[in-house]
């Protein structure tokens, strides 16, 4: 059982980190090369779809990491799950206010404020990328050391 939970934790962390890294290094920078209206218009459905993928992965990493630890895995498995799982409250408390402002009815999608919000969103998202990469590096180190 422990092996299966470790596998699930690692897999969820890796998928989350890969998706977050792609958004931080590829998708959002490419979006920001567009005019502000296009970037803001593309951001909304992209974020909605990304949430549908990353929120469950963060939850699975958190729960599987905790259960792996309960089944005898080193505490680092739980720490890794916590690092990825932290994306959930971080998103709800820190990022969501920016999302709401970007999605305000009547928002001028061509405005400098919209551009600044998109830039801020990219900075905030990078925290999720760093947390998930830290978890992945931690778990990879454990696996390599075995």
Q: pLDDT for 56-80, tens place per residue?
A: 999 999 999 999 999 999 999 999 9
Percent of the chain having pLDDT more than 70? 100
**What integer pLDDT is reported at residue 109 of this predicted model?**
96
Q: Sign of torsion, CA 35 41 44 50?
A: negative
For residue 110, what are its two tokens? 């061509």
Q: What is the dihedral of CA 38, 42, 43, 48, to 10 degrees?
A: 160
H-assigned helices in 71-111: 75-85, 87-90, 96-102
CA–CA gap between residue 50 and residue 137 (Å, rounded): 22
Give the pLDDT confidence score for residue 146 in this predicted structure: 84
Taking only the tens place, the pLDDT of each residue in 21-48 is: 999 999 999 999 999 999 999 999 999 9
Q: Which residue has the tokens 């980190």?
A: 17
pTM of the model: 0.94
Number of domains present in the structure of the chain: 1
pLDDT attached to residue 25: 98
Q: Which domain holds residue 107?
A: 2-145
């Amino acid at each position: 059982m422990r092996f299966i939970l470790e596998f699930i934790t690692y897999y969820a962390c890796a998928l989350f980190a890969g998706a977050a890294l792609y958004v931080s290094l590829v998708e959002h920078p490419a979006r920001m090369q567009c005019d502000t209206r296009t970037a803001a218009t593309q951001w909304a459905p992209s974020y909605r779809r990304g949430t549908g993928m990353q929120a469950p992965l963060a939850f699975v990493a958190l729960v599987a990491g905790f259960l792996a630890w309960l089944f005898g895995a080193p505490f680092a498995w739980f720490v890794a799950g916590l690092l990825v799982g932290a994306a959930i409250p971080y998103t709800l408390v820190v990022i969501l206010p920016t999302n709401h402002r970007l999605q305000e009815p009547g928002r001028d999608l061509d405005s400098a404020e919209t551009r600044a919000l998109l830039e801020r969103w990219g900075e905030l998202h990078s925290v999720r990328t760093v947390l998930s990469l830290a978890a992945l590096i931690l778990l990879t180190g454990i696996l390599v050391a075995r």
